[in-house]
Amino acid sequence: MNTVILCSRSEIKFNAVKNVFPYHKIITIESQSGIPEQPYGIDEILKGVNNRYSCSKDKGKDKKDQLVISIENGIIRDNESLYDIGIVKIWYKDVEHISYTKMVPIPNYYDFNPNITWGKKCSVYDYNIKHDNPHKIYNLDRIELLKDAIVICNNSICEKYKYKCLYDLSYYPFKGISKFYDITDILYDPDLLTFVIDKLVELIDSDTDYIAGIEARGFIFGPLVAQKLKKPFIMIRKAGKYPNSITSEEYETEYSKDSICISSSLEYKNKKIVLVDDIVATGGTFRQSKRLLESQGAIVANCVAIIDLKSVPTKQDVKYSVVIALD
């Protein structure tokens, strides 16, 4: 995503977008809002935003790998006062989001006219008001106001898109499981991986002593979570993989029977531990890992994973938190 489409030729809107995306190519297109010169009310302003986006589609500029931005300013009434507000809407790969600028009061001597902007009309009465950037009279800058709204909107778009990527993960039938989700998509995309680690970190209390990862995919995500939190990482391995280890009883997973083991050289007593894995299915591995650690005096505060398989119901006795739940 190195190109941004701006549905306007406005210099102020261009500068606001360029401030947020300084290293992107910004393509401006001529667009029509289809609303009065001075729109009034949120519905009318939003109509202008969507009409401008429609122009980009008509011109074939709504490419799937490009960010498309549409911006419209207008007037709203709050109680007895009039305010200027900007609406920013961003589209990216079937995801969209809206944000609003700060409301700026309009001078009380302005007489509303749908055919002329308030800045242009007020500039006739007050030389301090510049019709292209009228907020200067309040020591505000329309470019900065729009920039702040664009940043908020873009951050929300990024989060929505990454959630959508998780919900759209590939899956295949595997060992009797109809939907075995493939985490390759997460590992292949550095931004998505960073997003997932950040979301896992949000699920963990700051007073945690250890992060424990379960073999094998917990070894991918667990160390990254531990590194982010600056906590020690401990491995929960399959039985027979550790010398001088402490081994659990055998337990059932969604497609096999397993045992796990932990190092006998670490101190577990009274240590607050959070378990990390990629997917919760039956909860069997979390359950057995918790039992094994608690048998050594540890306190297992939580189990966290990226995905909860809602279709597998046998985990009611396991406390866990996830980023998303999938069928």
Please tell me the distance from the alpha carbon of residue 53 to that of residue 91, in angstroms, as a whole number. 9
Please tell me the distance from the alpha carbon of residue 139 to that of residue 143, in angstroms, as a whole number. 12
CA 138 to chain centre: 33
**CATH architecture observed for domain 3-166:** Alpha-Beta Complex (3.90)
What's the longest Cα–Cα distance across the chain? 86
Q: Give the active site residue among 254, 267, 291, 294.
A: 254
pLDDT of residue 239: 85
Helix, coil or strand: residue 277: strand
**Tens digits of pLDDT across the chain (327 residues):** 578 999 999 999 999 999 999 989 999 998 989 999 999 999 999 999 999 999 877 665 555 678 999 999 999 998 889 999 999 999 998 899 999 999 999 988 888 889 999 988 888 888 888 888 888 888 899 999 999 999 999 999 999 999 998 998 888 887 677 777 888 999 999 999 999 999 999 999 999 999 999 998 999 999 999 999 999 999 999 888 888 788 887 776 666 677 888 999 999 999 999 999 998 888 888 989 999 999 999 999 999 999 988 877 666 677 899 999 887
> Is 254 an annotated catalytic residue?
yes
Q: Where are the domains of the chain?
A: 3-166, 172-326
Paired residues of 96 in beta bridges: 91
- Both structure tokens of 34: 């289809």
Query: How far is residue 12 from each of residues 8, 98, 213, measured CA to CA in Å?
Result: 10, 19, 50
pLDDT of residue 174: 74
CA 69 to chain centre: 18
Pick the CATH number of 172-326 from 3.40.1010.10, 2.60.40.1930, 3.40.50.2020, 2.60.120.10: 3.40.50.2020
Judge whether 3-166 and 172-326 match in fold. Answer: no
pLDDT of residue 160: 93
Please tell me the distance from the alpha carbon of residue 50 to that of residue 43, in angstroms, as a whole number. 11
CA-based nearest residue to 65, from 94, 89, 31 = 94
- What secondary structure does DSSP assign to 4-30, as a single string? EEES---HHHHHHHHHH-TTSEEEE--
* E strand intervals along 103-168: 104-105
> pTM for this one?
0.77
Helix, coil or strand: residue 244: coil
pLDDT of residue 315: 62
Local structure of residue 40 (DSSP, 8 states): B
Please tell me the distance from the alpha carbon of residue 146 to that of residue 169, in angstroms, as a whole number. 34
> Is 217 an annotated catalytic residue?
yes
Q: Give the active site residue among 159, 217, 287, 291.
A: 217
Please tell me the distance from the alpha carbon of residue 288 to that of residue 256, in angstroms, as a whole number. 14
Q: How many CA atoms lie within 13 A of 59 on its CB side?
A: 18
